[in-house]
């Protein structure tokens, strides 16, 4: 009698069209349409405290309370453009950007600076500019995905213009900027000074506009990833790193002795 009762309990979760409340199998599985609730270890129509993915489709055990990975910023795509001289220059990403992604424009133009940036489905705001020698500036916009083409203008320019447009996933779309700094100089190393971030995790971007020809070293401290280099009449270089803690950042990079402008920004990573 006792054996029969145990058999009924063991099979209760697999009876045809079972009702909720039956015990989960030892593997954590439940029949189609039911999910094993981690709190009660019973098969339920909706497991309020079950994690997404707890409905198992094989015999693997279910892992509860697994940590959820924080968002990680990813460089989706990029494009570059250059013209000398230029008062208006466009750059087009290889594909339409995804709505809600953050676009970052790094521009060089040995003049007073860009007067406007439009297009790529975004409303643009300048995050940093050092216009003393070769000019470097960083602009931010959140795209709606409607266009892949951006246009930068400086009506009074008689100088070259270089553009690097990047698309990023995983960044906060509101209050994206978490600090900026700029500097200029005539001796190596080049540095934008320091920023002190407040967000727990940031994407840090470091950009230099310099006379050409020029050779850059490796930025430090920290491990930086290089973005595409624009090497023309003016050379424009940029790097990034992902910071997993709020801190002070003051990268510098060796260069071969030309006049330079440098910009540094911290961009908040989405929670």
Low-confidence ranges of the chain (pLDDT < 70): 1-20, 24-70
Q: DSSP per residue over 121-134, as a string? A: T---EEEEEE-SSS
Q: List residues bridging with 236 in a β-sheet.
A: 209, 230
Would you list the domain boundaries of the chain? 1-67, 74-268
172-181 pLDDT, tens digit per residue, is: 999 999 999 9
- The whole model's pTM is what? 0.75
In the chain, alpha helices (H) = 2-11
60-77 pLDDT, tens digit per residue, is: 333 333 333 457 899 999
Task: Give me the pLDDT at residue 9, please.
Answer: 40
Tokens of 65: 């309370």
Q: How far apart are CA 267 and CA 256, in angstroms?
A: 29
């Amino acid at each position: 009698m006792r054996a029969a009762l145990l058999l009924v309990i063991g099979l209760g979760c697999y009876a045809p069209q079972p009702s909720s409340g039956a015990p989960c199998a030892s593997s954590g599985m439940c029949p189609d349409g039911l999910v094993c609730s981690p709190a009660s270890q019973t098969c339920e129509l909706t497991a309020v405290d079950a994690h997404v993915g707890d409905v198992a489709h094989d015999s693997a055990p279910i892992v509860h309370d697994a940590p959820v990975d924080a968002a990680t910023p990813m460089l989706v795509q990029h494009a570059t453009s250059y013209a000398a001289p230029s008062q208006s220059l466009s750059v087009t990403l290889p594909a339409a950007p995804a709505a809600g992604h953050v676009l970052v424009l790094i521009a060089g133009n040995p003049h007073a600076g860009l007067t406007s940036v439009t297009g790529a489905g975004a409303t643009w705001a300048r995050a940093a500019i050092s216009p003393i020698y070769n000019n470097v500036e960083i602009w931010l916009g959140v795209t709606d995905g409607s266009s892949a083409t951006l246009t930068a203008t400086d009506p009074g320019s008689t100088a070259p213009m270089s553009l690097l447009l990047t698309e990023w996933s995983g960044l906060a779309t509101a209050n994206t900027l978490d600090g900026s700094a700029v500097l200029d100089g005539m001796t190596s190393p080049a540095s934008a000074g320091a920023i002190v971030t407040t967000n727990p995790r940031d994407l840090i971007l470091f950009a230099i506009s310099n006379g050409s020809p020029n050779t850059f070293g490796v930025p430090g401290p920290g491990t930086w990833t290089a973005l595409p280099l624009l090497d023309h009449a003016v050379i424009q270089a940029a790097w990034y790193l992902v910071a997993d803690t709020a801190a002070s950042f003051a990268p510098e990079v060796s260069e071969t002795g030309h006049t330079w402008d440098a910009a540094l920004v911290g961009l908040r990573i989405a929670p």
